[in-house]
Amino acid sequence: MNHDELHAFYDFTGRTALITGGTGGLGAEIARALMGCHANVVILNRDQEKARKVIEGFPGNAKGRALHVTGDVLDAESLRQAREIMIAEFGAVDILINAAGGNHPSATTSKELSFFDLPLDAMQHVGDLNLLGTILPCQIFGRAMAERREGVILNVSSMNAFRPLTRIPAYSASKAAVSNFTQWLAVHMAQNYSPRIRVNALAPGFFITDLNRFLLMDADTGEPSARGKAVLDHTPMKRFGTPEDLLGATLWLISPAAAFVTGAVIPIDGGFSAFSGV
């Protein structure tokens, strides 16, 4: 393979990527990087103002175009409407990145809230957001990939999927389900539609964003909380991740450089999952 081909792998000119949760701490960085690699970028989330700010921060020299579509990953009708707007503008989704997801304090055990008292609606919300919030966009945006027999899906799982973390049972279980679904859909697409449809997932370790700040940082001191310190002690690289740390694996997995990779869940965790603690 010559080096021109290697460079071309990461030039997404003429390709359209839709990123659910493209305004989040991680999704926004992925969206910016894809703009920088000349893709058309569609951000799907619920809050238009947040999306406007992210799009304002996109690189000025990008060849692609940016679009925001309002949608809720748990509301199939809103996703269908988003798909119509997106199709009118760009024709098709080549790359779907499912970065909407998260935990919630009310689904987190604490001194005040035992496992036995976790409210049903909170656990249901977290479970649905991560699992159904990944499955529904795959159904709605993946159908056209199946018809065209080509496409790339990248889900966002978590360290929790390999081994559950304390205090967040619904989040842990739902991310394990996202990893499992990633493998399921990879096989299903390849066997029933085309080996040119690939489905993979990132499994980020610990990145400080709105999702987990309340667990990992002490709001009063701005220093890592006891839990944050425990994470750092268990991370051989001794730091939290930054959103840019996800970009290499993301670009690789969605590019033709990963043409023979499907059903993979890639840890990006500073070695957290490799460390036994001893």
- Report in angstroms how near the CB of residue 94 gets to ligand NAP at its nearest: 20
What tokens were used for 22? 């493209």
Binding window for ligand NAP (CB under 6 A); candidates: 98-106, 108-116, 192-200, 221-229: 98-106
- 218-232 b/e (C-beta count within 10 Å ≥ 16 → b): eeeeeebbebbeebb
Give me the 158-197 binding string for ligand NAP, x by CB under 6 A, dash otherwise.
x---------------------------------------
Which candidate, 104, 110, 91, places its Cα nearest to that of 133?
Answer: 104
Q: Is residue 117 close enough to count as binding ligand NAP by CB under 6 A?
A: no
Q: The tokens of 110 are what? A: 């604490």
Q: Is the dihedral of CA 114, 240, 60, 82 positive or negative?
A: negative
CB of 103 to ligand NAP, least distance (A): 7
Catalytic residue, from 171, 193, 207, 272: name it. Answer: 171
Q: Which positions ≥6 away from 94 have C-beta within 8 Å?
A: 15, 16, 17, 150, 151, 152
Active-site annotation holds for 171: yes
Residue selected from 172, 212, 250, 262 as contacting ligand NAP according to rule CB under 6 A? 212
Which x/- pattern over 7-36 shows residues binding ligand NAP (rule: CB under 6 A)?
-------------xx-xxxxx---------
Q: With CA atoms as reference, report the closest residue to 178 among 150, 214, 215, 138.
A: 138
Nearer to ligand NAP, 151 or 267 (CB): 267
Q: Give residue 224's region: left, alpha or beta (phi > 0; psi -120 to 50).
A: beta
What residues make contact with ligand NAP under the rule CB under 6 A?
20-21, 23-27, 45-47, 50, 72-74, 99-102, 129, 133, 156, 158, 204, 206-207, 209-212
Q: Which residues are tagged catalytic? A: 171
